[in-house]
Structure 1
Amino acid sequence: MNTPPDLSQLSPDQLRHLAATLMSQVEEKDKALRHSEQVNQKLTHELALLKRHAFGKRSEQLNVLQIRLLEEVVDADIAAIEAELEALTPAAPPPSKKKPTRRPLPADLPRVEIRHDPDSEHCACGCQLRRIGEEISEKLDYTPGVFHVERHIRGKWVCDHCETLTQAPMPVQIIDKGIPTAGLLAQVLIAKYSDHLPLYRQEQIFDRAGVAIPRSTLAEWVGICGVRLQPLIDALRDLLLNEPVLHADETPVPMLAPGKKKTHRAYLWAYATTPYAGLKAVIYDFSEGRGGQHARDFLGKWQGKLVCDDYSGYKQSFANGVTEIGCMAHARRKFVDLHVAGKSQIAEQAIDLIGQLYQVEREAQSLTAEERQRLRDTRARPLADALHRWMLAHREKIPNGSATAKALDYSLKRWAALTRYLDDGRLPIDNNRVENLIRPWALGRANWLFAGSLRSGQRAATIMSLIQSAKLNGHEPYAYLKDVLERLPTHKASQIHELLPHHWQHNA
């Protein structure tokens, strides 16, 4: 116990310093309390709106599929908000809500017994403990293709001398009072966000296997997992923004917000490290619009080299110190479209000349940045200079407004950005890496983002970031998520980096 200082022994200057320190501490605590209250009020308001929608009249303009998907999103959002409120005010009682009656797990499922007993069979007083019974909790586990039940048996031990009862605690889990293990939660997340199976279809699949889990329950699990996994993305984003070179791209996703009768266009942004970077990661960011402010909010004070297409939303970032790196694949695509449309000989020549630059890149792929730079200086730069002279010469002969002129102008106007990769061996020639990483969203958006909300889009972005980053690092996503969800409840926040995909090791 700390002994308070004897104020009578302090000089006036020391007293003033002590008073200033105490006032500063009080102000900091007061500021944190006000922020906590503001977040609490915001979440409580959002929760009330979602619950009103969940129990209100459904719009007659929505079809059955849209209603199903929207119900899944609302249930997941409600569970996520309640989890955030519980973390914000852990001392407060959890919100009261009517829990559905839980059915016993099917008796025909295989069972694995996991026993939890005290570390010692002797009481603290030194006497022998006597077993007087046990408590059994059943959790539903899943390994790909197979359900089984974990029977957690916790023996009760009593000391006859001092009449104390000893019982080992249950292992802490992501959802303590629910039936799912980390393996089942990982399966639900992978099926939804990687295999593009909405929860109502997973409910049907589980039911055929003899396990009845309402999709509202599955949605609660998804919402809680999204909240629990968010700290990993926060840590990964900090690392990503320390990289000197990043890819960026965006794609539209139709969003039907709760309470609305028609969809509007939201956007999914992707930011990834290059194929040559030591860190292999991608982070998705979901927003309700395509304005460049969304990119600036994500990048913050980052001022590296950004590989991207010619979208105008990045222009302000370039004015603020970010260096634009053009995408040669976009330039080539203009000539491919031209050739497909009219068998243009100029387009065919351009495709061939650009192809020679790509041949150099294929040879440079396995080299170090320094070796790649030297190869580009000797092989690629002369080719690029020749291509530029060829484009300028042909552009003088072609009338303005023609399709060929537009294809040439696209490259000529962006030539400085398109060829900056020649000056730095760390830079890629195009933006194909992030375009490939954004493709899974195009496959899945009809199933799990068509009906959604800003919160559900951000949750999908969090989970998809972990799944795709795990793949980039050569991990099987189910094994990665299962292990992370097992370890998260007891993992120190200061060591969260150990669970990030590029650091994770199976059975670590």
Structure 2
Amino acid sequence: MVNTPFNNGNQYEKLIRLLEEQLAYSNLQNKDLSKKLDQSAKQIEALTEQLRHLNKQLFGSKTEKAKYNAPEGQSSLFDDDQSFSEPEPTEEQSQQSISYTVVRKVQKKKRNDSLHDGIEVEAVHHYPKNTTCDCCQGPMIEIGSTVVREEAEFIPARMKKVQHIEHAYECKNCKDDAFQKAQIKRGKAPQAPIQRSIAGPSVLAKVIYDKFAQYLPLYRQVKEWVRYGLNTNDKNLSNWVIRAAHDWLSLIYERMKQLMMVKSVLHIDETYAQIINRSDGKSGQTNAYNWVFRSVPSQGPIITLFHSSLSRARSVLESFVEGFSGTIICDGYSAYDKLKGVTFANCFAHVRRYWLKADSKNGQIGVNYCDDLYRLERQFRHLSPSKRRKERQKYSKPIVDKFLEWVETSPFYGKNALAKAAEYTLNRANGLKAFLYDGRIELDNNPAENAIRPSVVGRKNWIHSVSEAGAKANAICLSIAETAKANNVDFYRYLLKLLTDLPNLDIYQNPEVLNQYMPWSKMIQAECGN
């Protein structure tokens, strides 16, 4: 009998083991391939999501407002319009509707351009060149006049040289008396804001106003000043701003800071800036920072302060808020943490932004939770802090609890936008709940973000500060501009008042006089209020 591989038991077993080993190896390879495919699919999904998000940023709507969904039972504006479902009207019906349209009273459209009531009025009269009748050659008499149009006329600014001359007087009788010294009295000119400088208070106020309210860089102001009749250059203008801010406006700034630090709730945000000549030796291309600090309306007049620094470190924040005790409303930046005597409230606008970026069904659910809270806040806006806290406990707290529970129990994993939104929300859960227990705390940090916009707009125009002194002057001027705006004070008139009065006050002997020059004081409201 011939032996075959299948008749030989040992060879048959070896063949079976070989086949089993090959099958196991194939299974391992399939598992590895399956794992790699899963990883690739997740990576493709994440990249697709990033691509969709970038396309939305480039070509989509820039607003963060949610799309409006009509409430249940409310249809489209056009659903009830019968003209969209009725048949085309006949010729007779068309004529009837046309005659009705002609008879209907047309409302006069309101103009969107007009002059103030107090503007000076100049009447320009136009008479016929010849008032002799062409028929009988007799004289004609006036029978009426008509105002055919009104137009605005701009009178350009003009420069004027003001000479301050001090006059001296002497008593003639005492001068003739050999036994008595003659008395002399001399007129005293007011102190200038900058000694030995041609820049008076009105010029300084105009330069600062144009830069920090109109965002007009100094080098672009030079041609305008030359046109007015003042020959200067951007270096002079820069020095004037720095001197005015350092000598006089900083006094108002420091007083406002003292008042701010005794409050118990603050908004804080920061944005990058650029300073060319840095004292830390770093390149001028390295980011410097502008911090903004803003008080809340429930604690008196609004104060907005800017602070220029070379870094974004926690030490900058610690130094500025030294002595402050209370709650800081901020975004999720790590510097806003672990400050002595300070608790932190986080911003729901940032949370909503993360869920909005997810751009998916679950992302929209997160956005809807935030929108529900904002809807309630609009109803609570005019309540006192104590009443607002009670209403939040009753209506807002269940939504926050449900939102956080949904995020915690939902399977959001990986590095996609949904996972990032969930992680951001859960890491700041305690800070997001802070507004529920204090009616003075806002739902978001938008007041600080809105307050810092002038710094961002200015940065796009004047690009950088040459020196740290210039950056500090910018922060002081922006602080006074934004605080004046928040308290309905005309910034130019306020600057003119400060730069005219402060150099002639005994401020260091009587610092309390500065209270009269705060933007919310009765004197400033009366003289500089809008």
TM over 0.5: yes
CA distance in 1, matches of 2:422, 2:282: 44
What is the alpha-carbon distance in structure 2 between the residues aligned to residue 371 and residue 500 of structure 1? 30
2:335 to 307, 313, 316: 313
Deviations 1:12-47 (A, max 9, x none): xxxxxxxxxxxxxxxxxxxxxxxxxxxxxxxxxxxx
Aligned 8 A contact 1:273 1:281 in 2: yes
Gap change, CA 1:235 and 1:373, over 3 Å in 2? same
Structure 2 residue corresponding to 1:221, chosen from 234, 240, 252 = 240
The letter for the 2-side match of 1:221 is W
Quote how far apart the aligned CAs of 1:474 are.
0.9
Alignment of 1:429-440 (within 5 A): 429-440=443-454
Gaps of 5+ in 2: 1-154, 176-182
- Separation in 1 of the partners of 2:323 and 2:156? 43
SS at match of 1:483: helix
Per the alignment, residue 303 of structure 2 pairs with: 281
> Which residue identity lines up with residue 201 of structure 1 in the other structure?
R
> CA separation in 2, counterparts of 1:156 and 1:284?
46
Q: Which residue of 1 aligns with 2:209?
A: 190
Matched residues in 2 for 1:316 and 1:449: separation? 34
Matched, 1:297 2:352: no
* Corresponding position of 2:291: 269
Match of 1:371 among 364, 379, 387: 387
Q: Which amino acid aligns with 1:470?
A: A
1:365, distance to aligned residue in structure 2 (A): 1.2
2:16 alignment counterpart: none
Alignment of 1:419-438 (within 5 A): 419-438=433-452
Q: How is 1:109-128 mapped onto 2 (pairs within 5 angstroms)?
A: none
Are the aligned partners of 2:392 and 2:436 in contact in 1 as well (CA < 8 Å)? Answer: yes
Spell out the pairing of 1:301-450 with structure 2 (5 A cutoff).
301-317=323-339, 320-339=340-359, 344-393=360-409, 395=410, 397-448=411-462, 450=464
Contact 1:255 1:449 in 2 (8 A): no
Aligned to 1:239: 259
Deviations 1:363-382 (CA, angstroms, capped at 9, x unpaired): 11111111211221222112
Cα distance, 1:151 vs structure 2? 5.1
Residues 90-169 of structure 1 correspond to what in structure 2 (within 5 A)?
145-150=157-162, 152=164, 154-163=166-175, 164-169=183-188
| Post-superposition offset of 1:195 | 1.9
- Code of the residue aligned with 1:399 in structure 2: it is Y
AA in 2 matched with 1:466? I
Other-structure match for 1:179: 198
Deviations 1:360-413 (A, max 9, x none): 1111111111121122122211222222222233x2x33333321211121122
Which SS does the other structure have where 2:400 is aligned? helix
Contact 2:412–2:422 (Cα < 8 Å) also in 1: no
Of 204, 211, 215, which aligns to 2:223? 204
Distance in 1 of aligned mates of 2:301 and 2:397? 28
* Structure 2 counterpart of 1:501: 519
Alpha-carbon distance between aligned partners in 1 of 2:226 and 2:401, rounded to the nearest angstrom: 64
User: In terms of mean alpha carbon deviation, does 179-188 or 448-457 score higher?
Assistant: 448-457
Distance 2:381 2:164 in 1: 51
Q: 2:137 maps to which residue?
A: none
Aligned equivalent of 1:465, options 479, 482, 493: 479
CA contact (8 A) 2:345 2:434 kept: yes
Distance in structure 1 (CA, Å) of the matches to 2:402 and 2:197: 66
Partner of 1:257: 277
* 491 and 364 in structure 1: CA distance in 2 versus 1, 3 angstrom threshold: farther
Whose radius of gyration is greater, 1 or 2?
2
Match of 1:491 in 2: 505
Segment of structure 1 superposing worse, 213-222 or 234-243: 213-222
AA in 2 matched with 1:415:
A
Count of residue correspondences = 358
Q: Is the 8 A contact 2:274 2:284 kept in 1?
A: no
Deviation at 1:178?
Answer: 2.9
> How big is each residue's C-alpha offset from its partner over 1:315-364, in whole Å with a ceiling of 9 and x where there is no partner?
231xx23101010101000011122xxxx011112112210100111111
| Conserved? CA contact 1:275–1:433, under 8 Å | no
Unpaired runs of 5+ in structure 1?
1-142
Contact kept? 1:449, 1:457, Cα under 8 Å:
no
Q: TM-score normalized by structure 2?
A: 0.64
Deviation of the 1:148 alpha carbon: 4.0
Which whole-Å CA distance do the structure 2 matches of 1:399 and 1:454 have between them? Answer: 45
3-state secondary structure, aligned to 1:336: helix
Moved segments of 4+, more than 6 Å: 258-261
Conserved 8 A contact 1:193-1:463: yes
TM-score w.r.t. the length of structure 1 is 0.66
- Asked whether the equivalents of residues 307 and 431 of structure 1 are also in contact (C-alpha less than 8 Å), the reply is yes
8 Å Cα contact 2:272/2:290 also seen in 1: yes
| SS of 2:527 mapped into structure 1 | coil
Q: Is residue 275–residue 428 contact of structure 1 (8 Å, CA) maintained in 2?
A: no
Task: Write the distance in 2 (CA, Å) between the matches of 1:321 and 1:222.
Answer: 37
Contact 2:465 2:471 in 1 (8 A): no
Kept in 2: contact 1:255–1:266 (CA 8 A): yes
What amino acid maps onto 2:487 in structure 1?
N
Deviation of 1:260 after TM superposition, in Å, equals 8.2
Aligned equivalents of 1:383, 1:144: Cα separation in 2: 58
Cα pair distance change 1:288/1:260, threshold 3 Å: closer
Match of 2:15 in 1: none
SS in 1 for 2:277: coil
Deviations 1:156-176 (A, max 9, x none): 434322345433111223124
Distance in 1, Cα, partners of 2:330 & 2:493 = 32
Query: How big is each residue's C-alpha offset from its partner over 1:140-192, in whole Å with a ceiling of 9 and x where there is no partner?
Result: xxx99454444545444343223454331112231244333322211111112
Relative to its length, the structure with more strand (as a share) is 1
> Which amino acid in 2 is paired with 1:185?
L
CA–CA distance in structure 2, aligned partners of residues 371 and 147 of structure 1: 56
Root-mean-square deviation (Å): 2.2
SS at match of 1:161: helix
Tell me how far 1:491 sits from its aligned partner.
2.5
Look up the match of 2:250: 230
Alignment-mate amino acid for residue 497 of structure 1 = N
2:495 to 466, 470, 481: 481
Instruction: Write the distance in 2 (CA, Å) between the matches of 1:223 and 1:260.
Output: 23
Give how far 1:194 is off.
Answer: 2.5
Shift of 1:441: 1.0
Q: Which moved more, 1:498-507 or 1:181-190?
A: 498-507
**Letter aligned with residue 218 of structure 1:** L
Q: Deviations 1:263-321 (Å, cap 9, x if unpaired)?
A: 2210111111024331310111111111110000111132210101111112231xx23
